[in-house]
Structure 1
Amino acid sequence: MSKRVVTVSALAGIALLAGAGAYAFAGETRSAGPEMTKGSVGYVAPGKDEDGSLTFTARVADDSGVRNLKVLAWPASMAPAPDAEDMAHVESATCEPAGPSGDAAALCTYKVKVTAAEAAESPKGAWHVAVLASAEDGGRTFAPKAAGFTVKG
C-alpha cells in the first residue's frame, strides 16, 4: 500500500480513495486566506490488471503567493468529519504557477494510485474531498467539502 494511502487511511480509519464522478468545487473561503476556485475531482476505477487513480485539481490564489494545498478524500459516513488540524497529517498537492510571472495564483493537482484491493475495501456511497490551502503570509482557507463523488458498489 502506498505511503499516501497509509497516511490518509490512518486518519480516516479506513482504506479510502475510490469513487466515481466529478462535481463542481464548492469551497468555503475567508477574506484572510487563499481563494480556491475551479476545483474538481476525477476517478478512474482500477481495471483487472491495472491500477486506477483519484485526482483533485483546483486553482488557488493569494496576494502573498500559495504555500501549499493539502487534500483528503473521506467518506460522508465518517464521524466526526475531518477538521483543519487533521489536514496537517495529509499530503500536499503539487502546485504550479497558473499564470504569468508575478501572478500569485497556482494550479494545484493531487493524484494518488487506487489499487483494486483499496477500491474493494472502500465504503460505498457519498464521499467528500477536504482541502486546506495555505498562503505564504500564513493565511489559510479550509473547505471540508470542496468536492464530492460517489463510490458505487
Structure 2
Amino acid sequence: MSRISKRVALTSLVGAVAAGAVAVAVAVAGIASATAPAKPVVDNASARFVVAPGGDEGVFTFAADVADDSGVKNLKVLAWPNASGLDPTAEEMEYAEKADCERVDDEKSTCAYSLRVTERELAETGKGEWTVAALLTGRDGGKKFVPEAATVTLDF
C-alpha cells in the first residue's frame, strides 16, 4: 500500500469514527429529550391568618410558587381545622376553590388564595391549628397533590 493510500485509509477511518460518535451523541440527546416531562411542583407554600382592625373578622391567606414544564393550569386550595379529622384526597380536591395564579414565565406561576372569616364563622368552624391542602394541575393534565402544604393557627 502506498503512503497516499495509507493516508486516505487513515483519514477515512478517523472520519468514520467521528461520524459514529456524532450519531451516538444525537441518539443519546434524542432519548434524553423523549423522557417523561417534569412533574408539577409546589414550593414555598405558606399560610397566614390576620385579624382585621376591630377584631370582628380575619383574613386567611395561602401563597405558593408552582411550576410545571407544560405551564400551570390551576392551583386548588382547601383549609380545614385539624380537630375536624378531615383528610381530603386528590380526587376531592378537584372541587376545592381555585387560587389566583400570576404567570412568572412559561413554566412558573405564583399563586395566592384569600378568604375573609368572620368571628361567627370561626366560632362555628373551629379555632386552633388548621392544615391547608393544595392540588396543582399543569396544562398537560399532570397533577401534584400536597395534602399538608401549610399550617396556620386561626384565633381571635
Q: Same fold (TM over 0.5)?
A: yes
> Deviations 1:44-96 (Å, cap 9, x if unpaired)?
12443753211100010011000000000011123341111111111100111
**Candidates 79, 82, 90, aligned match of 2:88:** 82
CA RMSD of aligned residues (A): 2.0
Alpha-carbon distance between aligned partners in 2 of 1:118 and 1:80, rounded to the nearest angstrom: 18
Q: Number of paired residues?
A: 120
TM-score (normalised: structure 1) = 0.70
> Deviations 1:97-131 (Å, cap 9, x if unpaired)?
124xxx31000010111112112223233210000
Q: Are the equivalent residues in 2 in contact too, given 1:45–1:53 (CA < 8 A)? A: yes
Higher relative contact order (CA 8 A, sep 6+): 1
SS at match of 2:84: coil
The answer for unaligned runs of 5 or more in structure 2 is 1-36
What are the within-5 Å matches in structure 2 for residues 2-151 of structure 1? 33-48=39-54, 51-99=57-105, 103-151=106-154
TM-score (normalised: structure 2) = 0.69
Q: Are the equivalent residues in 2 in contact too, given 1:96–1:106 (CA < 8 A)? A: yes
**When you count helix as a share of all residues, which structure comes out higher?**
2
The answer for unaligned runs of 5 or more in structure 1 is 1-30
Alpha-carbon distance between aligned partners in 1 of 2:119 and 2:76, rounded to the nearest angstrom: 25
Q: Are the equivalent residues in 1 in contact too, given 2:38–2:68 (CA < 8 A)? A: no
Alpha-carbon distance between aligned partners in 2 of 1:85 and 1:61, rounded to the nearest angstrom: 20
Q: Which has the larger radius of gyration?
A: 2
SS at match of 1:85: helix
Q: Are the equivalent residues in 2 in contact too, given 1:34–1:62 (CA < 8 A)? A: yes
